[in-house]
Amino acid sequence: MTIYPAIDIKGGRCVRLTQGRADQETVYAENPADIAAQFRAAGSAWVHVVDLDGAFAGEPTNLAAVAAIVALGMKVQLGGGLRTRAAVERALGQGVSRVVIGTRAAESEAFVAELVQAFGDRIAVGIDAKHGQVAVKGWVAAAGMTAMDLARRMEAVGVSTLIHTDIGTDGMLTGPNLAAQETLLQSGNYRVIASGGVSRREDVVALAQLARKHPRLDGVIVGKAIYEGRVELRDLLALTAGAA
């Protein structure tokens, strides 16, 4: 199980939002690449980056900051505002290893199918849900479908990796929604990267146990807990053998 330390970028800075709310922002660093360098020094090969401005605007706006992270030699998984093929191609052209399609995936299966045909496993789909219902456009709009419905539709068009964020726990440091993650894992043959709620080492231990039961649990995204010193990234990487 891979640990994906998270960097959320807003206005060029590294921030975290509580439950995705733009008015609940904490700034952790002026330069996101400085944080990525710390992650790399701890042994992480991957970093999960969200362009928050892009998520709200519908078009990536922080690709320069992303390119600086790629230049460190890290594998970047990028989401936020990737709603056109041109935007996806720009991100991949910057050296991003995997892009995450969110809003557009809920709107158009054909769009995702086209991307998967062109770029294969470099395309992942983000399923952001609260109480099992999918939210889109920076989590401010309801998609009118369940997480399981969207997962099955994405599997049908060839998507192999889903990033499942439980909005209710994201940034709250209350522990991950293990039941929601397991429900999704039981619904198809895709890989799942869990996101939301990790607050302590024991949460990652619980997810690692879930991964032994469901090997398609590919990884977990950890953000606020790292920034607030509740967990040590190097320890989590050793715990999960997720440094590569």
- Hey, how many other C-beta atoms are within 10 angstroms of the C-beta on 129? 25
Q: Which residues make Cβ contacts (< 8 Å) with residue 126, sequence separation at least 6?
A: 79, 100, 101, 102, 105, 162, 163, 165
* Catalytic residue list contains 128: yes
Catalytic residue among 8, 166, 170, 218: 8
Q: What dihedral angle (degrees, nearest 10) is formed by the CA atoms of 183, 185, 189, 193?
A: 140
- Hey, how many other C-beta atoms are within 10 angstroms of the C-beta on 64? 10
**Phi, then psi, of 144 in degrees rounded to 5:** 75, 30
- Hey, how many other C-beta atoms are within 10 angstroms of the C-beta on 235? 13
Catalytic residue among 23, 34, 121, 128: 128
Distance from C-alpha of 189 to C-alpha of 74, rounded to nearest angstrom: 28
Residues designated as active site: 8, 128
